[in-house]
Amino acid sequence: MSNENHVAGNDGFDPSKVQKLSFTEILKRIGPGIILTGVVIGPGNITTSAMIGANYGYGLLWLIIPILLMGVTFMLTSYRISMLTGMPILHAIRHYYGGAAAGFCGIALFLSCLFFTLGNVSGTGAGMNLIFGINWKLGALIMLAVLLGLYFSKGVYSKVEKGIMICIAGMILAFYATLVATGGPAWGEMGKGLVKWSLPEGSMTTALAYISTNAAVTAGIYGTYLGAEKKWKKEDLFNGAMKWDAVAHIVTVILISGAIMLVGAIVLNPQGIAIQAPAQLAELLVPFLGGAAKYVMGIALLGAGFSSLLGNTQRGMVLLSAGFDKDVALESKIIRWGCVASLAFACVICFIYDGSPTQLIFIANIATSIATPVAGLFIMLMFWKTEVQGGLKPPRVLQVLMTVSYCFTLLMTVSALGNYIPKLIQSFSK
């Protein structure tokens, strides 16, 4: 990528003339990645991370390495395609592969986000249950009413960005304080968990749920639309803004989900606790908070679920609208009322489900993996097109990483869903 800085593009744009931003200037230009972190760190992430630590100890800690590489790759690839073509991803797919391909991707991405919303609705309800002792379904309805008020207010982007940053900061503090209170991880076992890349028996679906939450191609795609809200320009691809936005996103995600996984390995795994209910998630924080653990975990689930609902429901509608070349502005009627309809549908599904809200969160998390095999394919193919590079030298390393990341995710998705889909159907047919 460095050599391209000496070659002007087809439109006369010369990356070598773009000045690198200072640290302070970069902080002002990033933002989409922060919102995406809040979307990703929802109840599904907390639940799956805790499950991995509780069930497998340090055995799946190595997953954070491919997640780091894949997460940054998916985002940078999407950002680059968008900036060089002048089109957000789904509009670019429409341009190169036609309306049918764009519409198909839009539907797949929307369904993925809708499944994610199921987990978020359940998570906010579980949080209200832990804090106030009320039925989780009633708790979910109360928080959804608050959420709808935000959807129909002005300056949504700014409010979402600030609110999510607060939620993220609170979760980081709670889980890292617990890590300190427990004496920290067993460093030898932690090291083995990072270098021994193997899947313990029965862990495939859990690993898929973890990967599909933390390193989804959906994040990069939606980031190109949030970039438009942030008023990003082509210069931001080369001045450091987009690169550090992507890095800030995935590093923050790993810092949070990795801490939760470690706490699960330290606190729950030795006790043989298999997470089936929200109260068991509260056990994660008992070493540091004692009796207050359920309230803090309730706040964490509530904050994570609410921030994810706020961003994810919008994400699903934006991507669906983009797939069919409709209005994608966050404050447009189609996005606002589409969000209302999505939330109403999610509520119906959640409320007819008889199992534990934490189990529904996990099921929904697995189901979100459907987006990458569909949309990821077109992104990968586009990235190898010469015309997409706009006359600049192709970044071969990033192209290879995108291809490898896609194939890795596709393999895991096909393997895991092939075994889990029958269980998913059975859980709703009981």
CATH number at residue 342: 1.20.1740.10
Q: What is the pLDDT of residue 210?
A: 85
Q: Please report whether residue 424 resides in a domain.
A: yes
CA 17, CA 25: separation in Å to the nearest integer? 17
Give the span between the Cα atoms of 394 and 398, in whole angstroms: 9
- Residue 9 domain-assigned (yes or no): no
102 located within any domain = yes
User: Would 227 be classed as within a structural domain?
Assistant: yes
Q: Which residues of the chain have pLDDT under 50?
A: 1-6
Q: How far apart are CA 221 and CA 322, in angstroms?
A: 11
Domain span including residue 212: 18-429
In a domain? residue 338? yes
* 341, part of any domain: yes
pLDDT of residue 134: 87
**Residue where the block lists tokens 């340090």:** 58
How many domains does the chain divide into? 1
pLDDT of residue 346: 86
Q: What is the pLDDT of residue 1?
A: 42
Whether 5 is in a domain gets the answer no
